[in-house]
Structure 1
């Protein structure tokens, strides 16, 4: 499908962690695709969906903590599927799990996941998704109930089911991500994943053996108590989407809620941490 898009090229200073926060807010305002670069991020919205006040409710643009400027241009038709085919290479995680698109050749490994990423997050290429998949590969999931918050493409929930999880709720605030997750769940023949639209208020009353949340620091801190209240005794919590300098405040928040830090992974200054209740 080809559409005419409006491109916003944002320059963000400092870049960390504000690019991630900006992307999250823009996603809620209707922007469909993001390309990070050295000084910021390019964000794309369909011309038919664009409006003059599209940035009116983007809170971070008025923050005193960061300077954000941008240029706006209308660009020609973009076939996003073709763009993904040119730029999306398969990845292999610890020689155990491969993530590829439908147009790649099949991999001979223990866990193979086929993802049509489109404009959603979570192909495994980003450091946070990669590390969260490592956590899943290293831990036991057989028979567990799982909550995947900010599921993106549902790649984490899909891997958890392939490792034996029995009932999984995958939730994302972005409608495009929900539709993409449902497609990927079906594509990978998963039977136990229920995908729904919403934020932490959409979490069912179910209690989970494991909660996964790969979002950003601010959302994690706001919703941490909700995650904790969704966990069974001795449950596991995996968090990512924040930088190494944010780990102390994440630990402090978890400790206040009775969650114990176990370990963390670090990749290019990004962190994926494990806690237990």
Structure 2
């Protein structure tokens, strides 16, 4: 499937809020430029009128112009790779591509092949989840990664001591990229990944930790299913939603027997950690 690249010429001060709005509209990845923002969405999900309505909201506040073009998969990847920069989470985690040199100052060195899959570390929610993972027990646990994207969260879970990993995503390219990234980080022997949803995880399979960085609606629908796969005392990290949606996520978790143990916010995005 082709992707649409939207080129937004706008004051950089508006880039963060536009990324939040575009993320809610289905855009998967972003690259900040000197002139504004590049945003990427699958061609079938692109709605020209929605983009026009979104940008029109800001015309009274700033000058904004949008153009777009269709990108073949190969070209999209080349463009992304050229602009990809390493991501640092605090002073412990560094996510880099193979063409970046390692930095021994960071304890956890994560390698990815930066493709179109969501979860390269640049999005606020990926950063938030990785930051929370640092404070959670992983040693000897089986960990499930819901909507794994690039597999970056699973890779960190492994480096933090997880004994087994299961990731899945509905996007076949994400699954392909996750497998590639698992191999690059030597996770193949203890990691599984498949194309599908939580409904395809065997009922008897239990986890000490679950990572769910998706979106508000899927979380509200699937939290009951996650709980059925969570061992007593296990943890669930949720993200992919705005801070304005946090109360709804917490209420759903409480109704399913979970206890909140921590939360964090970053540029209007939220992350909440629960325990069974």
In structure 1, distance between residues paired with 2:114 and 2:81: 10
Please state which structure has a larger fraction of its residues in helix.
2
User: Is 1:106 equivalent to 2:102 in the alignment?
Assistant: yes
Q: Which residue of 1 aligns with 2:212?
A: 213
The residue aligned with 2:143 is 146
State the partner residue of 1:160. Answer: 157
Q: 1:167 to 1:61 in 2, by over 3 A?
A: farther
Q: Does residue 173 in structure 1 map to residue 170 in structure 2?
A: yes
Report how far residue 71 of structure 1 moved: 7.6
Distance 2:160 2:73 in 1: 40
Establish whether residue 84 from structure 1 lines up as the match of residue 89 from structure 2. no
Partner of 2:60: none
The equivalent residue for 2:264 is: 265
Asked if the contact 1:15–1:40 (Cα under 8 Å) also holds between the matched residues in 2, the reply is no
The range that moved more, 216-225 or 15-24, is 15-24
For 1:193, the equivalent position in structure 2 comes to 191
Inter-partner Cα distance in structure 1 for 2:163 and 2:198: 21
| Cα distance in 1, alignment partners of residues 96 and 5 from structure 2 | 29
What aligned pairs does 1:1-277 form with structure 2 within 5 A after superposition?
A: 7=4, 9=6, 19-23=22-26, 34-35=29-30, 41-45=39-43, 54=44, 73-74=69-70, 79-108=75-104, 109-190=106-187, 191-205=189-203, 206-277=205-276
Give SS of 1:239's match.
strand
How far did residue 41 of structure 1 move? 4.6
Deviation at 1:84, TM superposition (A): 2.5
The equivalent of 1:29 in structure 2 is none
- The superposition leaves residues 158-214 of structure 1 with CA deviations (integer Å, 9 ceiling, x where unpaired) of 110111101111011100000000000000011311011112212232011111100
Q: Deviation at 1:75?
A: 5.8
The alpha-carbon deviation at position 246 of structure 1 amounts to: 0.5
**Helix, strand or coil for the counterpart of 1:178?**
helix
After TM superposition, the score normalised by the length of structure 1 is: 0.79
Q: Which residue of 1 aligns with 2:11?
A: none
Shift of the 264–151 alpha-carbon distance from structure 1 to 2, 3 Å rule, reads: same
Cα pair 1:211 1:238 within 8 Å, conserved: yes
The TM-score with structure 2 as length reference comes to: 0.79
Q: Work out the CA distance in 2 between the residues paired with 1:165 and 1:174.
A: 24
The alpha-carbon deviation at position 80 of structure 1 amounts to 3.4
Q: Counterpart of 1:138 in 2: which secondary structure?
A: coil
